[in-house]
């Protein structure tokens, strides 16, 4: 096991943070059964601090693991069908399939086979954060920013080989050439499949975070409303893929703790974990994001605990330094802005 700092972690290559070690779980086909959700929640509580973050690639970051607990957690993930026992294979799982593949009838049926074919071709030496995203169309057509974007609706037999050539061209480079995101209008709320009686329902995670108890409640919702499974997505939302129209009112009541409205101010503000979860951060970025959302802060904003810029999506940002903030409108993550020494409220309104 290799422990990294300031790196792109995997299940077998944890990253050291302020609250322990962080690993990533990449659910196959972006799908978690309710049983797998319960195993994930139990293992994170046993081996870590039970805190989860949903990444912009639809992965689940698990925080607070101890060096002794990483291998036990990894073994639990393999047993639950959420990871491969081979670290090399797990490291090469860089493809984001459409999160509603297998649920939304408009998503091409061969899209998951395409994802598997591409991952079998991944060469060694790609940039650490290299990513291939597949847009399957349907009610949530669109993809996050990625190095290669595949439109599954226009694939040919040569598509996988074309992607392989592109990946080989990227080997040895410090980073890929990231294509811009093509986001769906919103992943939150109900998305009906055509004129049928079912659809997908997006449950927003406030600031992309939940805990083990939250996962257990999601498992209950999956059993009651989602056909026993839930999907991860790159849009700060978990998706129930098989929700019946007749159950919508009951679902909204049962899921009241999640973000159910695309206009919720918590969706306009993003943040890294901040202190005390990160020992590089001097400000409680995620807690401060909650304060600004509760105050009804207008416009999109990112709060970064330090100049490293983890999870920075672009746009206006408040960068923490020595317990205060600097506001930057167009920032390059990793570069320290000129210190402004602003309070949270002053930086937010600047």
Q: Which two tokens stand for residue 137?
A: 């169309």
Q: 174-233 pLDDT, tens per residue?
A: 777 788 878 777 899 999 999 999 999 999 999 999 999 999 999 999 999 999 999 999
Torsion of CA 163, 169, 175, 181, to 10 degrees: -30
The residue extents of the domains of the chain are 268-349
- pTM here is 0.90
Q: Which two tokens stand for residue 255?
A: 């899921």
pLDDT of residue 96: 95
Q: How many residues does the chain have?
A: 350
| Rounded CA separation 207/205 (Å) | 6
| Rounded CA separation 126/176 (Å) | 8
pLDDT of residue 314: 86
| 268 in Cβ contact with 297 (< 8 Å) | yes
Provide the pLDDT confidence category of residue 1 given band limits of 50, 70 and 90.
low
Give the residue-averaged pLDDT of 106-125.
Answer: 94
Q: Is the pLDDT of residue 60 over 60?
A: yes
Give the residue-averaged pLDDT of 156-182.
Answer: 86
Taking the CB of residue 19, how many other CB atoms lie within 10 A of it? Answer: 17
| Cβ-based burial of 156 (10 A; exposed 0-12, middle 13-18, buried ≥19) | exposed
Looking at residue 329, the DSSP 8-state letter turns out to be S
**Average pLDDT of the chain?**
92
- Residues 6 or more apart in contact with residue 1 via CB below 8 angstroms: 12, 13, 14, 67, 70, 71
Q: Is the pLDDT of residue 98 over 90?
A: yes
pLDDT of residue 42: 98
Q: 75-94 pLDDT, tens per residue?
A: 999 999 999 999 999 988 99
- Residues 6 or more apart in contact with residue 295 via CB below 8 angstroms: none
Residue bearing the bigger pLDDT, 163 or 3: 163
Look-up: residue for tokens 């207008």? Answer: 298
For residue 200, list its beta bridge partners: 191
Query: Percent of the chain having pLDDT more than 70?
Result: 98
End-to-end Cα separation, the chain, in angstroms: 45
| Rounded CA separation 227/31 (Å) | 12
Q: Is the pLDDT of residue 2 over 70?
A: no
pLDDT of residue 7: 59
Q: Is 227 helix (H, G, I), strand (E, B) or coil?
A: coil
Query: Percent of the chain having pLDDT more than 90?
Result: 76
pLDDT of residue 6: 47
Q: 136-154 pLDDT, tens per residue?
A: 999 999 998 899 999 999 8
Calculate the CA 65 to chain-centre distance: 19
Q: Is the pLDDT of residue 5 over 60?
A: no
For residue 340, list its beta bridge partners: none
Calculate the CA 224 to chain-centre distance: 24
Q: 223-279 pLDDT, tens per residue?
A: 999 999 999 999 999 999 999 999 999 999 999 999 999 889 888 899 999 999 888
pLDDT of residue 145: 85
């Amino acid at each position: 096991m290799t422990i990294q700092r300031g790196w792109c972690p995997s299940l077998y290559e944890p990253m050291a943070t302020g609250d322990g070690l962080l690993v990533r779980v990449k659910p196959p086909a972006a799908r978690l059964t309710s049983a797998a959700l319960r195993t994930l929640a139990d293992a994170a509580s046993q081996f870590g601090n039970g805190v989860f973050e949903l990444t912009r690639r639809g992965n689940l970051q698990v925080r607070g693991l101890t060096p002794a607990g990483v291998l036990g957690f990894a073994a639990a993930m393999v047993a639950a069908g959420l990871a491969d026992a081979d670290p090399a294979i797990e490291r090469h799982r860089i493809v984001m399939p459409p999160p509603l593949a297998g649920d939304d009838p408009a998503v091409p049926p061969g899209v998951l086979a395409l994802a598997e074919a591409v991952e079998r071709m991944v060469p060694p030496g790609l940039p650490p954060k290299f990513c291939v995203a597949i847009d399957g169309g349907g009610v949530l057509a669109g993809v996050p920013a990625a190095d290669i974007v595949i439109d599954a609706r226009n694939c040919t037999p040569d598509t996988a080989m074309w992607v392989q050539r592109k990946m080989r061209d990227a080997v040895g480079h410090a980073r890929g050439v990231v294509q811009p995101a093509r986001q769906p209008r919103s992943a939150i709320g109900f998305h009906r499949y055509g004129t049928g009686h079912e659809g997908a329902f997006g449950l927003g995670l406030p600031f992309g975070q939940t805990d083990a108890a939250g996962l257990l409640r999601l498992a209950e919702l999956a059993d009651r409303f989602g056909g026993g499974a839930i999907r991860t997505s790159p849009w700060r939302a978990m998706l129930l893929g098989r929700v019946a129209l007749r159950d919508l009112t009951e679902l909204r009541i049962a899921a009241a703790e999640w973000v159910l409205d695309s206009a919720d101010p918590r969706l306009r503000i993003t943040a890294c974990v901040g202190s005390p979860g990160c020992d590089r951060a001097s400000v409680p970025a995620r807690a401060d994001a909650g304060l600004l959302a509760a105050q009804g802060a207008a416009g999109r904003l990112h709060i970064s605990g330090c100049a490293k810029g983890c999870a920075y999506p672009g746009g206006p940002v408040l960068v923490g330094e020595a317990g205060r903030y600097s506001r930057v409108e167009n920032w390059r993550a990793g570069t320290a802005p000129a210190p402004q020494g602003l309070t949270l409220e002053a930086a937010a309104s600047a």
